[in-house]
Amino acid sequence: MQIMKKSLLYTTFLILILVMTPLSGISIEENKNDEKSFSNPKPASASVYNLGLKSYENGDVQSAITYFKRAIDLDPDFVDAYYNLGAIYKKQKNYYNAIRAFQKAVEINPEDHEVTFELASCYLEDKNYPKAKEYFSLIPTDFAKYNDAKQNIEKINRYVVIENAAKTGQTEVIKTPETQAQLLVDKLEKSLVETGSGEVQKADTVKDSAAPSAQNPTLPKDQEQLLVNTLTKPTKDSFKAGFKTVTGNLSGPAGIVKDSKGNIFIANFTKDSIEKINTDGSKEIFIEKVGISGPLGLAVDENDNLYVANYNGNSILKISPNKTVSVIVEKVIKPYYLFYDFRLSKLYATVQGNDSLVEIDTQNLLKQPITTR
């Protein structure tokens, strides 16, 4: 009996591994734990499936997708075809289709814990935390990725607490140094994964590797403490000589920028406002609430127009010196940092919603005014 391993495996949350083990027309699937095989793919479907593996091996991903879909048409219960289809979509960050493929595979064989884990991972990447937690919770203790599933559930619990706190205005939950430090570690983990080589390896190489998982990197204790110390809210006594408190009583301060006249603008995330510190040191609310929802990044151009990354409003705003507010980009999910290039008159924004960098030509804007003050 020929044993077929899963064709597409993952070493981490985001990196996919490909194992090219063709199916014969009469081979049957057995999982890595040598459990009783679940399905016997039809010969015609197995042949098309093998063409999908060959196409993927040759770098022709679109043909691989076509062949796997055809294999499913010929045998609707072919779990590995759904699995490989989902794995390709996940690599492409097409989580909607990846979830559909993995979901079907789980429905056919609920005991395939590898598929269940990948389905949960897609839900987590898609920020559907309830579904991600539901499927991670189905991973049994004797499965190889049980600890990964358990740690992902802990991450989900942290994310949910922070999201709920942001919605209810309980910023003290978000501001606790321990919570912020753990979030920074989570981002570091994801960064380590996403900056990896992403090279295709054989399954046996991964299985026998004793290297620590990139999904669960460990930091030296002194570095963990450094993260906490760095994020702890300072007191006046904690500043060393050479530092001074310019202003206090801000509300979730985020982005900061200075215009050509020397005025400083600060985004108050919690109060949906922009605070202004004038050159004489006086402080005022420059603008509040008017179209602003969770401001983070700030930037100014050569005409002292202020740009705001409207994080909760999923948009980027432009505020003129006379406080005319307009939307210059909408439907940009969770914009974060902003940078204005004075030489090119272009605005750049990092977008957390789809992990991208956006370029905006500020000389050709279709501005949608909100109000004039």
Do residues 113 and 143 lie in contact, with contact meaning Cβ atoms separated by under 8 Å?
yes
Instruction: Enter the pTM of the model.
Output: 0.43
pLDDT band for position 125 (cuts 50, 70, 90): very high
- For the residues 225-244, what does the mean pLDDT come to? 49
Q: Is 310 exposed, middle or buried, given 0-12, 13-18 or 19+ CB atoms closer than 10 A?
A: buried
- For the residues 282-296, what does the mean pLDDT come to? 87
DSSP string, 246-260: -----SSEEEEEE-T
Q: Per the structure block, which two tokens stand in for 22? A: 């063709």
pLDDT band for position 173 (cuts 50, 70, 90): very low
**Domains present along the chain, CATH in parentheses:** 3-222 (1.25.40.10), 253-371 (2.120.10.30)
- For the residues 262-275, what does the mean pLDDT come to? 90
- For the residues 85-94, what does the mean pLDDT come to? 94
Model pLDDT, residue 254: 87
pLDDT > 90? residue 94: yes
Model pLDDT, residue 164: 73
Q: Which of 189, 16, 31 is nearest to 118 (CA)?
A: 16
Share above pLDDT 70 across residues of the chain, in percent, rounded to a whole number: 66
Do residues 292 and 313 lie in contact, with contact meaning Cβ atoms separated by under 8 Å?
yes
Residue owning tokens 């060393």: 240
More confident residue, 288 or 34: 288
Query: pLDDT tens-digit profile of 112-123?
Result: 999 999 999 999
